[in-house]
Structure 1
Amino acid sequence: MKIKQFEYEPLSHYSYALISNGEMAIIDPERNPMQYYAIAKANKAKIIAVIETHPHADFVSSHLQIHQETGATIYNSEKLGADYPHQPFDEGDSITIGKATLTAINTPGHSPDSITIMAKEGKETVLFTGDTLFIGDVGRPDLREKAGKMQAKRQELAEAMYHTIQHKFKNMPDDAVVYPAHGAGSLCGKSMSDANSSTLGNERMGNWAFKNQTQEEFVNELLDSQPFIPSYFGYNVDVNKTGAATLRNAIAAIPFKMNSTTDGLIVDARKESEFKKGHLKKSINIQASSEEDTFETWLGAIVAPGEKFSLVIEKPEDLDMILQRVAKIGYEKDLQRVLTLSGENLIKTKQLDLENFKKHPNSYTIVDIRNKSELAEGKIFESALSHPLNELRKTTANIPDSKPIVVHCAGGYRSAAGSSILESALDGVTVFDLSDAVEQFRE
């Protein structure tokens, strides 16, 4: 049994290929399936199964496309109520991939329809735990309260997670390898490790969820201080329940214009320095200039599902990259056009006089756009007003505009988006981005 782990860093997402004796299963695939096809070809393996541990909230899966292009059977819990062709895969069900046997275990908690897949070949046991068991944590139970048509209460799911951790992994061996669907940085949990795998024995020793505690203690810990929920999460759950369109077809019809202009809601994906040199009026700067930028998360947190928008990129060579990234969260349906700028009639962002700000901070309105969970750890500026970035477009009207505004986050990436939101919304008000200079003000 050969396991290949794939990582998509901006969403801290892990997907997997399991290969045995010329056959292959794909677990929790991302939107573009070509990397899985490449592995199948390199190993001369036939893709016969694609398995969804649950309908994901933070990315769009390619399970339906894989089924259509390879003939592989889709397996998932019947509790999901999937609208695409599939084979139910619940407790007691098993499938054979080459010489490996894959068994489904219903593990509700993150969602009512979550499953864990136990794969065995010889003496080797592997667990694909989806968003149930992470390394150092468990999946958050509060994503389904606003998840479109598939709602469930967080208290009930938190209690279900307690029973899952207490009972569903009880008789499994300590040397079983744990492969989760996410790592540190994902919003599907709050305290995940940087490690991309573990053993069940190590999790029993080091993961807080396995310690001896009452259900009440477990639930209180699980529900406490979870990060914000981006507005696109519920939308993605519904897309994954239905099955997304083939990626090539989904992005093919989006028009591209060079040296152009546009109006309406504009997302400028260029790096901060280029945006500040010149951008279209009312643009929001959500950077996608590197593979590490968390573009998808913030696009889906700032722009609501169904909201039409245009995208600005630096150069034509960036077109495929940005279309792929938009499609990761299913937003290609609302993307009206992609364009490069002509260089005419652009707005330049004013640069903050940092020394003046240090000497006279009370001459500015300081806006802290960090998440509420970050704010709970302490303010960087005592006078700062809290307006989390994911809520900022709705709360801008509550920000005093009698003084110049300085926007800060924790490291600089998000403040580029936050300052551009305020710049676009507050006519006649000077808005500055503190950017990475925020590091100079930490104790």
Structure 2
Amino acid sequence: MKVEQIYTGCLAEAAYYIESEGEAIIIDPLRETKPYLEKLAENGAKLKYIFETHFHADFVSGHIDLAEKTGATIVYGPTANTTFDIHQAKDGEVLTLGKISFKVLHTPGHTPESTTYLLKDEAGKEFAIFTGDTLFIGDVGRPDLAQKSGEVTQEDLAGWLYDSLREKIMTLPDEVLVYPGHGAGSACGKNMSKETWDTLGRQKQTNYALRADMSKGEFIKEVTAGLAPPPQYFAKNAKMNKSGYDSIDDVLQRGATPISADELELIVEAEGALVLDVRNEQEFKTGFVPNSIFIGIDGSFAPWVGALIPDLKQPIVLVTPEGREEEVVTRLARVGYDNTLGYLQGGIEAWKAAGKELDTIESIEADELAARMAAGEVDNLIDVRKPTEFISQHALAAENIPLDYINNNMHKLSPQNTYYLHCGGGYRSMVFASILRARGFENLIDIKGGWKAIEAQANIAKTDFACPTGIPQEVIDEAIANAI
């Protein structure tokens, strides 16, 4: 028996490859099929099943393409309805793979169809559970993503989750391994551990949601508290996972097409395409295609694209680091952005060589910000971090406008003002600045190094800082509400 976790850091997502006697299953595959096909070929294994733990909202699964290329059967749990062929497993059903087996445990709560797969080894011993978004390490799945207006509330789903955990999962032996669908950084939970697997026994001891003396009412209150609205693309990705999508091969062929500077301008004009620059923030600030948006490939790329570009069908042309064009197209497709129409061949140097105009964004060091603040020259300091980061520690002179909710807060900003922008380390503030610049804001100054650098200048700047400790949940809830 072989069990392999395939972890993708940018999405904090875990897929799984399990093999026995030349047969394999893959659980919750990402959109691209090539890595899985290569793994099957290397091991000389045949893919028998593709297990889906639920209708993922934070990424588009590769289940449909993978099934078409391998002949494997797509398996969902009870209540899952799709427009393509699946095996809708029954609660308690057993599916075999070589000398091992999987028992289907219907565990609704995160979503109605959420299912956990219990792996039993060659001796029939309960070995591991693949929990999807039902149980994470240190947390559980948020219960607000699959609400139906007037039918099922987040409180209803939280109640189902409580029952699922206690009736289906916590009754298993403590030595059973827990393999979740996500780790820290995913928006599918609130406070996941950086660890990507654990034993069920340790989780019973350390996971707040598995506390033995917790009542259902307490559980519902805790798991529904402090939930920020999900990113706008979540519901759209879930729909794609239910209804289907373009072949990943077609998406890659179309998106990884080289185009010249002149062709880029024509596509922007004719198609209304967005120029997406995915280089490093320090490279971007020194020269970029006017009106382009920066979202760096080496940050939390796909989630930020999903949060900030409302239309999945938005035509996109790319400015990328050399050699990473197909990677960028793939990572866009993982969250449903399939309408990439090419990349600027030769990158920004080709744009300059063609005599095209460049735009820039001013960036200053934290000590220069400190000097300007001391001189009373900074009227608008914008902290673009998350509300929870802001209330934990921030400059009292700063206003919090989280990058996540920039579109909700544009009414607070004026193109006539000068804005100093910072985040935690410099990535998010450059994204924020690029969006404002594309909307006609000229007077923007980014703080290099973000809060980490600003904090070190507190004494030099003679600036007061707020640092509350033991923040009450109601304060967090209020901060999130104000940010939205």
Unaligned residue ranges in structure 1 (runs of 5+): none
Shift of 1:112: 0.9
Cα distance in 1 between the residues matched to 2:151 and 2:282? 42
Shift of 1:52: 0.3
Query: Could you say which residue in structure 2 is the equivalent of 1:2?
Result: 2
Larger mean Cα displacement after TM superposition, 191-200 or 310-319: 310-319
2:142 matches 1:140: yes
Query: Could you say which residue in structure 1 is the equivalent of 2:407?
Result: 393
The 5 Å alignment of 1:86-165 reads 86-121=86-121, 122=123, 123-145=125-147, 152-165=152-165
Do the aligned partners of 2:129 and 2:178 also contact (CA within 8 Å) in 1?
yes
Do the aligned partners of 2:114 and 2:134 also contact (CA within 8 Å) in 1?
yes
Shift of 1:394: 4.0
Shift of 1:67: 1.1
The one-letter amino acid of 2:358's match is L
SS at match of 1:190: coil
The one-letter amino acid of 2:30's match is E
Do the aligned partners of 1:47 and 1:72 also contact (CA within 8 Å) in 2?
yes
Percentage identity across paired residues of the two chains: 31
Cα distance in 2 between the residues matched to 1:114 and 1:82? 14
Shift of 1:307: 5.2
The one-letter amino acid of 1:332's match is D
The one-letter amino acid of 2:428's match is R
Cα distance in 2 between the residues matched to 1:158 and 1:18? 30
Shift of 1:80: 1.8
Cα distance in 2 between the residues matched to 1:316 and 1:151? 50
The 5 Å alignment of 1:190-209 reads 190-209=190-209
Query: Could you say which residue in structure 2 is the equivalent of 1:350?
Result: 362
Instruction: Select 1:301's aligned residue among 301, 304, 307.
Output: 307
Give the direction of change, closer, same or farther, for the CA distance of 1:357–1:151 in structure 2 (3 Å limit). Answer: farther
Do the aligned partners of 2:252 and 2:326 also contact (CA within 8 Å) in 1?
no
The one-letter amino acid of 1:79's match is T
The 5 Å alignment of 1:3-402 reads 3-121=3-121, 122=123, 123-145=125-147, 152-211=152-211, 212-254=213-255, 255-260=257-262, 261-262=264-265, 263=268, 264=272, 265-288=274-297, 290=298, 293-306=299-312, 308-333=314-339, 335-339=340-344, 340-341=347-348, 342-343=351-352, 344-352=356-364, 354-361=366-373, 362-364=376-378, 365-378=380-393, 380-401=394-415
Q: TM-score, normalised by structure 2?
A: 0.85
Q: How many residues align?
A: 435
2:435 matches 1:435: no
Do the aligned partners of 1:15 and 1:27 also contact (CA within 8 Å) in 2?
yes
Larger mean Cα displacement after TM superposition, 68-77 or 306-315: 306-315
Give the direction of change, closer, same or farther, for the CA distance of 1:435–1:220 in structure 2 (3 Å limit). Answer: farther
Q: Cα RMSD (Å) of the superposition? A: 2.1
Give the direction of change, closer, same or farther, for the CA distance of 1:12–1:120 in structure 2 (3 Å limit). Answer: same
SS at match of 2:241: helix
Shift of 1:170: 3.5
SS at match of 1:240: helix
Shift of 1:141: 0.9
The one-letter amino acid of 1:14's match is A
Instruction: Select 2:420's aligned residue among 402, 406, 423.
Output: 406
Give the direction of change, closer, same or farther, for the CA distance of 1:377–1:139 in structure 2 (3 Å limit). Answer: same
Do the aligned partners of 1:50 and 1:75 also contact (CA within 8 Å) in 2?
yes
Shift of 1:124: 4.7
Shift of 1:14: 0.3
Summarize deviations over 1:239-269 as a string: whole Å, max 9, x none.
Answer: 0011333211222223431344434532211
Shift of 1:354: 4.1
The one-letter amino acid of 2:453's match is Q
Cα distance in 2 between the residues matched to 1:307 and 1:398? 28
Q: TM-score, normalised by structure 1?
A: 0.92
Cα distance in 1 between the residues matched to 2:366 and 2:186? 33
Do the aligned partners of 1:367 and 1:406 also contact (CA within 8 Å) in 2?
yes
Unaligned residue ranges in structure 2 (runs of 5+): 456-464, 466-484
Cα distance in 2 between the residues matched to 1:321 and 1:430? 34
Larger mean Cα displacement after TM superposition, 407-416 or 346-355: 346-355
SS at match of 1:79: coil
Summarize deviations over 1:173-204 as a string: whole Å, max 9, x none.
Answer: 11111100101111111111111111111111
SS at match of 2:84: coil
Shift of 1:22: 1.3
SS at match of 2:131: strand
Do the aligned partners of 1:101 and 1:120 also contact (CA within 8 Å) in 2?
yes
Give the direction of change, closer, same or farther, for the CA distance of 1:136–1:231 in structure 2 (3 Å limit). Answer: same
The one-letter amino acid of 2:343's match is V
Summarize deviations over 1:270-302 as a string: whole Å, max 9, x none.
Answer: 1112211111222211001x3xx2110000101
The one-letter amino acid of 2:324's match is D
Do the aligned partners of 2:279 and 2:321 also contact (CA within 8 Å) in 1?
no
Cα distance in 2 between the residues matched to 1:45 and 1:189? 34
Shift of 1:39: 2.3
Shift of 1:35: 1.9
Give the direction of change, closer, same or farther, for the CA distance of 1:310–1:246 in structure 2 (3 Å limit). Answer: closer
The one-letter amino acid of 1:326's match is L
Do the aligned partners of 1:108 and 1:157 also contact (CA within 8 Å) in 2?
yes
Instruction: Select 1:426's aligned residue among 419, 436, 440.
Output: 440
Do the aligned partners of 1:63 and 1:243 also contact (CA within 8 Å) in 2?
no
Cα distance in 1 between the residues matched to 2:59 and 2:42? 26
